[in-house]
Amino acid sequence: MDKLIIEGGVTLNGEIRISGAKNSALPILAATLLSAEPVTITNLPHLHDVTTMIELLGCMGVGISIDEKMSVEADAGQLTSSVAPYELVKTMRASILVLGPLLAHFHDAKVSFPGGCAIGSRPVDLHLRALEALGAKIEIEDGYIHATCDGRLKGARILFDIVTVGGTENAVMAATLAEGQSIIENAAREPEIVDLCNCLVAMGAKISGIGSDTLIVDGVERLHGAEYAVMPDRIETGTYLVAAAATRGKIKLKDTDPNQLDAVLLKLEEAGAHIERGEDWLSLDMKGKRPKAVSIRTAPYPAFPTDMQAQFTAMNAVAEGVGTVVETIFENRLIQAHEMNRMGANIQIEGNTAIVTGIEVLKAAPVMATDLRASASLVIAALVAEGETHIERIYHIDRGYECIEEKLQSLGAKIRRVAG
Ligand code: UD1
């Protein structure tokens, strides 16, 4: 298995481009199943999870053509199977996002049950309840979710009792082809959901309330082809900003959207960063100073994102003062703290809270990535550690960060990948 070797102590400095958002790309690719005409998606990031979703569509008979810039044309006009097999679903939970579109368009869908994962049990009960509200019949057979409906789904009121990103996505996609109106309440408002809704509208869906917690969907008989560009990745953006802040650096990020990161930018400013923004760029300058520790509490958008929690924990580990990090979305998402403590960090875990007492420098150690964002936090810790850190199991990083070594190298980091 590949590993990353990082020699710490370099201040990040320079300019890089931000890739398309993974968490938009996945539901948008799944949404191509809703149309019998070709849909072209551009600005897709070159990532394992995106390849897995394309493979999943391909194995169901969706015609796929990919050009050299990762624009994908997906044509679900000749579907041969509506089964999402265990072999693919087990490698990526987001495969569950094909359930709503398959059911709405083909009235029959079989998707393997996604298992738990390193950051918690992550059930899909709310996805299933929403589809049942729209008239689906759901049976669990041999580890598969089998959803069927007689003719079109029926518009309904769906009230989520927990804010769920994936659940909202499945519900809104299914509702676009239902008969009549659906009202989705307590919907997640993440920018990736706005992006998905905008793509669905480009395909002919009728959705109002986009960006609010109540989505109103007037079902249409069919969706048509479209061309749609995926939005920039706000979590990749945030990760590089935090890496620069932790190393006391100065960076500029191009092709990003500064308007989707308010909670993160506020915390970076509190940490002492000077932030400037333009229409599609952001810059951060620490003026050579050590960051100050900040306290954060994760919650659904527009509050502080759980996908940025681990990176801030890493920054706090070398910051001045004590920062408290409270994780409210996932039950087991502070595990990376143990690896950071192996690098000399002072992080105490109490339930869902990490109390991080900053120290001046971390020390290199062999560490292991456990999930996607946790691995990003280990990269940040390694960048500020004295000596050479070896990070194993980096396949997690490749699921979510396009060309991470190249991008960090162009910011001056001493990082290399070794095939194992
Ligand atoms: C998505 C993101 C992930 C991010 C998360 C929260 C993608 C591909 N992934 O994950 O990066 O960390 O949002 O912002 O977009 N829950 C249930 N039952 C359900 C569904 C969810 O109990 O049926 C719970 C989960 O266990 C979790 C909470 O609801 O505690 C929120 O999860 P959810 O928003 O659904 O996360 P994902 O869509 O899986």
Order of strands, sheet of 63-66, starting from the edge strand that comes earlier in the sequence: 63-66, 72-75, 39-42, 226-229
Tens-place pLDDT, residues 119-178? 556 789 999 999 999 999 999 988 899 999 999 999 999 999 999 999 999 999 999 999
pLDDT of amino acid 123: 87
Q: H-helix or E-strand containing 354?
A: strand 353-357
Distance CA 84, CA 98 (A): 8
Q: Which two tokens stand for residue 134?
A: 């729209």
Question: How do residues 276-301 score in pLDDT, each as one tens digit?
Answer: 999 999 999 999 999 999 999 999 99
The residues assigned a catalytic role are 117
User: Within 13 A of 311's CA, how many CA atoms are on the CB side?
Assistant: 25
Cα R_g (the chain), whole angstroms: 21
Alpha-helix runs per DSSP H in 234-281: 234-246, 262-270
Q: Decide if pLDDT at 12 tops 60.
A: yes
162 ligand 1 Cβ < 6 A: yes
Arithmetic mean of pLDDT, 73-93? 94
Length of the chain: 420
pLDDT at position 68: 84
pLDDT score at 369: 84
Pairing mode of beta strands 108-112, 83-84: parallel
Neighbours of 279 (CB within 10 A): 7
Q: 410: CA distance to ligand 1 center in Å? A: 33
What is the mean pLDDT of the segment spanning 367-393? 93
pLDDT at 17 over 80: yes
State whether the beta carbon of 235 lies less than 6 angstroms from ligand 1: no
Predicted local distance difference test score (pLDDT) of residue 119:
54
Span 197-252, pLDDT tens digits: 999 999 999 999 999 999 999 999 999 999 999 999 999 999 999 999 999 999 99
The pTM of the whole model exceeds 0.95: yes
DSSP E strand boundaries for 93-165: 108-112, 137-141, 144-148, 157-159
pLDDT(420) > 80: no
Residue 170 CB less than 6 A away from ligand 1: no
